[in-house]
Structure 1
Amino acid sequence: MTKTMEFKGRCLCGEVAFEGEAPDEPISTCHCKQCRQWGSGPFDAYSLPLKNLQFTAGEDAVKYYESSDFARRGFCSKCGSNLFWHADRHPQWKDRISIAVGALEQPTGLSAGNHIFCAAKADYYEIEDGRPQYAHED
């Protein structure tokens, strides 16, 4: 039986709020250029089945930026908080969504997993925490 966890989250201003229950899986830290430009550093994300995400407020306040030919990034249209990465046009990942871990209420109960897109990391930091590193995606 897969262990699950409950989560709640919101944007900075509280306009957008969400919750759900999903498999308890480690987060990924993405070092790609788009993630760094989007949030001024690596993007820590909790990936889960899209069907496990329910909005409790402000779903209409979420706006999406089409950041590639297969994915979009969701943010609050009121405060600008980065909230989601969704590969909605990718056959393998379209049914999953990644939530910005910083938007989740504490304690999350999550653990840190892999670093991905390490080949694209910025030159101003090193990855020295001993977690698995992948040049691209895991």
Structure 2
Amino acid sequence: MTDTGCSGGCPCGGVAFEGALESTRVVACHCGQCRASSGHFWASAGLREVRISGETLRWHRSSPGHERGFCGHCGAFLFWRPVGAARVAVSAAAVTSGPALRLDRHIFTADKGAYYEITDPLPCFEGDDTAPGATPWYPAPSSA
């Protein structure tokens, strides 16, 4: 495992992964889809060169052009990606070995639940975290 290498999996052991972190920055997504899938905001890190194993892995097309990966046995929501992408966003809570991860920013805060407040000093974005011309944290699906 390289210094950006990490591994982890679901609580029941049915799905495991390893790969290279794109960074140790964790993004907290407050969109309705992430909150409904995870039970609260979803904290994730970008993962490339990912290898996923386990017979219980299931993918769900959660919105146009995007899918979520989860364990079909314990139900743990582990991955999000544009359909067909080689890179994934992985649940920060599922990473069990590798460099320390740190929460870096909040996205889709306009959709956050009414039952909580964001009180840390980290940057907040009402939608995606990209300004015009900036490199997105995660690429949009290709139109191919």
Q: Into which bin does the TM-score normalised by the smaller protein fall?
A: 0.7 to 0.9
User: Structure 1 residue runs of 4+, over 6 Å off?
Assistant: none
Give the Cα–Cα distance (whole angstroms) in 1 for the partners of residues 98 and 24 of structure 2: 15
Matched residue pairs, number?
128
TM-score (norm 1): 0.85
Select the residue among 69, 73, 77 that pairs with 2:72. Answer: 77
Identical amino acids, percent of aligned pairs = 34
Alpha-carbon distance, 1:127 to partner: 0.5
Structure 1 equivalent of residue 25 of structure 2: 26
Aligned to 2:125, which of 116, 131, 134?
134
Between Structure 1 and Structure 2, the one with more helix by share is: 1
SS in 2 for 1:133: coil
Contact 2:106 2:124 in 1 (8 A): yes
Residue 10 of structure 1 corresponds to 9
Amino acid at match of 2:71: C
Alignment partner of 2:4: what SS?
strand
Separation of aligned partners in 2, 1:134 and 1:41? 17
Matches within 5 A, 1:41-120: 41-49=40-48, 52-55=49-52, 57-58=53-54, 60-88=55-83, 94-105=85-96, 108-120=99-111
Q: Is the 8 A contact 1:4 1:23 kept in 2?
A: no
Per mean C-alpha deviation after superposition, the further-off stretch among 118-127 and 15-24 is 15-24
Task: Tell me how far 1:87 sits from its aligned partner.
Answer: 1.2
Unaligned runs of 5+ in 2: 130-144
Q: Say if 2:23 and 2:46, in contact at 8 Å, map to a contact too.
A: no
The alpha carbon displacement at 1:108 in A equals 4.5
Unaligned runs of 5+ in 1: none
Considering only aligned residues, what root-mean-square deviation do their CA atoms show, in Å?
1.8
